[in-house]
């Protein structure tokens, strides 16, 4: 029986999922691959916590070098996440001639070019299906299934933790912290959950997808990112009354000239196919010149869904090793010499419909002042809700949906409105996506 030897750095939630899949589903993998995958070394700083997986004696080590320099290991799985030391470990492993499988979207978003070049130079393979959308085969779709298509946009719900929190707040009227705590307990959240909540994790993912979709270098720090911590139960309820759901969306649109890439909470109509993608589920919509839209929905986080994407990549690489064909796919989807620098669109250049929330004093003339300023900036109100009468100078919520206008106009209007004496807090906006 042929054996492909695998090493792993990082034995946390996903690492334990990978080990479990290799043990529990080893037989089905063997039947499909025609060889056995053997986990020969696993490195983690913590080798005492019980993960509920029996590894053979001597497999666990605290030394990443033992995995990187192990002469028999063909494929190295990196699951420690973050920029460093993950970057150093991967570059060392590539130098040692190991094929790579990683779930590290942060690293690929910032240092993908360096890693992809190193892999290509050595004629090795890299699998990173698990880095985006957990079990959803989005990388495979973009790199292989849609290879003949000109992609025009990729957008979606790519953070399970944020989606879990928003869904829970919406469906169970649960508060933000209770929902976050549960997401963390279930192992969905990143080590630092602010990455999930404040949109950074989604930004990492959309940066990687943008590179694969359009063959461009993405200056990660230029991506517009805002998260869900400012979303209130009031926003969720008003969105519902207007016929929308609030989702944290990662958006990347290419019009042939520039890329509009951003991450922010967005209102999507209830009839939108992603409006009812709830809990830890992710959804990614790809539009291109061959199809209106193609939406992939699946488990975006968690040990077994993400672990299965990791093992799927290992099997794919093992097939190359066993047949001796070498890597057929360019790591970053485009040939290295075809990767270009496409400019990013400034947020002020976009157009959108907007949901606006103000906290205002409930007294005569306030609404006309606000609508006057909006009108002056060519912003037309579509519908509006004002709740309750505030007691003794306390603000009351005034929310409105506005027809399509430019971001530039909206921002200028909001700056002016914020200066009004009757406006108690900084106004909040949520963009509408359809
Ligand atoms: N923390 C991520 C999420 C895990 O919640 O989606 C997968 O990247």
Digit-coded pLDDT (tens) for 288-300: 999 989 999 999 9
Q: Which fold has domain 3-134+303-338?
A: Rossmann fold (3.40.50)
Of 26, 47, 21, nearest in space to 36 by CA: 26
The percentage of the chain sitting over the pLDDT mark of 70, rounded to a whole number, equals: 99
Torsion 201-205-206-210 (CA) sign? positive
Q: Does 422 sit in the ligand 1 pocket, CB within 6 Å?
A: no
Q: Which atom of ligand 1 is nearest to the CA of 132?
A: 8
Ligand 1 center–CA 372 separation, angstroms: 43
Residues recognised as catalytic: 205
Ligand 1 center–CA 70 separation, angstroms: 30
Instruction: Report whether pLDDT(377) > 90.
Output: yes
Query: Ligand 1 pocket check: which of 300, 305, 307 to mutate, most ligand atoms within 8 Å of Cβ?
Result: 300
Mean pLDDT across the stretch 320-339? 94
Q: Does 281 sit in the ligand 1 pocket, CB within 6 Å?
A: no
Q: How confident is the model at residue 218, as a pLDDT? A: 93
Cα gap 305→303, rounded to integer Å: 6
Q: Please answer whether residues 44 and 65 qualify as being in contact, where contact means their C-beta atoms are separated by less than 8 angstroms.
A: no
Q: Which atom of ligand 1 is nearest to the CA of 193?
A: 1
The domain spans of the chain are: 3-134+303-338, 138-299, 347-432
Mean pLDDT across the stretch 236-240? 93
Query: Ligand 1 pocket check: which of 12, 196, 209, 263 to mutate, most ligand atoms within 8 Å of Cβ?
Result: 196
Q: Which atom of ligand 1 is nearest to the CA of 162?
A: 5
Cα gap 48→37, rounded to integer Å: 24
Q: Does 190 sit in the ligand 1 pocket, CB within 6 Å?
A: yes
Ligand 1 center–CA 60 separation, angstroms: 26
Instruction: Report whether pLDDT(185) > 90.
Output: no
Ligand 1 center–CA 404 separation, angstroms: 32
Instruction: Report whether pLDDT(391) > 70.
Output: no
Ligand 1 center–CA 240 separation, angstroms: 26
Q: How confident is the model at residue 390, as a pLDDT? A: 60
- The tokens for 365 are 């003339």
- What is the residue-averaged pLDDT of the chain? 95
Q: Please state the φ and ψ torsions of residue 428, each to the nearest 5 degrees.
A: -115, 140
265-278, pLDDT tens digit by residue?
999 999 999 999 99
Q: How confident is the model at residue 175, as a pLDDT? A: 84
Q: How confident is the model at residue 234, as a pLDDT? A: 87
Cα gap 203→221, rounded to integer Å: 9
Asked if the domains at 3-134+303-338 and 347-432 fall in one CATH topology, the answer is no
Q: How confident is the model at residue 179, as a pLDDT? A: 85
Instruction: Report whether pLDDT(174) > 90.
Output: no
Cα gap 214→253, rounded to integer Å: 10
Q: Please answer whether residues 317 and 93 qualify as being in contact, where contact means their C-beta atoms are separated by less than 8 angstroms.
A: no
CATH superfamily of 347-432: ACT domain (3.30.70.260)
Ligand 1 center–CA 160 separation, angstroms: 5
Give 138-299's CATH code, choosing from 3.30.360.10, 3.10.20.30, 3.40.50.150, 3.30.1280.10. Answer: 3.30.360.10
Query: What's the longest Cα–Cα distance across the chain?
Result: 83
Alpha helices in 7-156 (DSSP H): 13-24, 26-33, 64-68, 86-95, 105-121, 138-140
Q: How confident is the model at residue 386, as a pLDDT? A: 87
From atom 7 of ligand 1, which residue's Cα is the shortest distance away?
301
Q: Which atom of ligand 1 is nearest to the CA of 300?
A: 6
Q: Treating both helix axes as pointing N-terminal to C-terminal, what angle do 366-376 and 407-418 enclose, rounded to 10 degrees?
A: 150
Q: Which atom of ligand 1 is nearest to the CA of 103?
A: 8
From atom 4 of ligand 1, which residue's Cα is the shortest distance away?
301
Ligand 1 center–CA 149 separation, angstroms: 28
Query: Ligand 1 pocket check: which of 189, 193, 297 to mutate, most ligand atoms within 8 Å of Cβ?
Result: 189
Q: Does 188 sit in the ligand 1 pocket, CB within 6 Å?
A: yes
């Amino acid at each position: 029986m042929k054996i492909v030897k695998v090493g792993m750095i990082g034995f946390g939630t996903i690492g334990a999922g990978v080990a479990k899949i290799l043990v529990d589903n080893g037989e089905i993998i063997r039947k499909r691959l025609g060889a056995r995958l053997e986990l020969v070394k696993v490195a983690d700083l913590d080798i005492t916590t019980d993960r509920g997986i029996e590894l053979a004696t001597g497999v666990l080590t605290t030394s990443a070098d033992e995995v990187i320099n192990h002469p028999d290991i063909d494929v190295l799985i990196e699951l420690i996440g973050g920029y460093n030391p993950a970057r150093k470990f991967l570059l060392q492993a590539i130098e040692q001639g190991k094929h790579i499988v990683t779930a590290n979207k942060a690293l690929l978003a910032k240092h993908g070019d360096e890693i992809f070049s190193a892999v290509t130079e050595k004629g090795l393979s890299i699998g990173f299906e698990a880095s985006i959308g957990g079990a959803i085969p989005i990388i495979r779709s973009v790199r292989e299934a849609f290879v003949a298509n000109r992609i025009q946009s990729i957008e979606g719900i790519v953070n399970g933790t944020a989606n879990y929190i928003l869904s829970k707040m919406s469906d169970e009227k649960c508060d933000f912290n209770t929902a976050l705590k549960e997401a963390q307990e279930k192992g969905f959240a990143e080590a630092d959950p602010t990455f999930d909540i404040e949109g950074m994790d989604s930004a990492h993912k959309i940066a990687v997808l943008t590179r694969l979709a359009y063959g461009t270098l993405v200056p990660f720090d230029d991506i517009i990112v805002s998260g869900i911590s400012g979303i209130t139960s009031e926003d969720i309820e008003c969105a519902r009354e207007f016929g929308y759901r609030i989702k944290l969306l990662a958006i990347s649109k290419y019009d042939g000239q520039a890329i509009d890439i951003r991450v922010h909470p967005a209102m999507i109509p209830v009839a939108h196919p992603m409006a009812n993608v709830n809990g830890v589920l992710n959804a990614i919509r790809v539009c291109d010149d061959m199809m209106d839209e193609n939406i992939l929905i699946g488990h975006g986080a968690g040990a077994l869904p993400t672990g299965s994407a990791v093992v799927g990549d290992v099997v794919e690489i093992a097939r190359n090793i066993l047949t001796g064909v070498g890597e057929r796919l360019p790591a970053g989807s485009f040939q290295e010499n075809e990767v270009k620098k496409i400019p990013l669109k400034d947020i002020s250049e976009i157009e959108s419909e907007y949901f606006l929330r103000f906290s205002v004093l409930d007294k005569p003339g306030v609404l006309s002042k606000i609508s006057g300023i909006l009108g002056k900036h060519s912003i037309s109100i579509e519908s509006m809700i004002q709740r309750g009468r505030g007691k003794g100078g306390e603000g009351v919520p005034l929310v409105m949906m506005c027809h399509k206008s430019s971001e530039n106009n909206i921002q200028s209007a909001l700056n002016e409105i914020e200066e009004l004496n009757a406006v108690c807090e900084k106004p909040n906006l949520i963009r509408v996506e359809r």
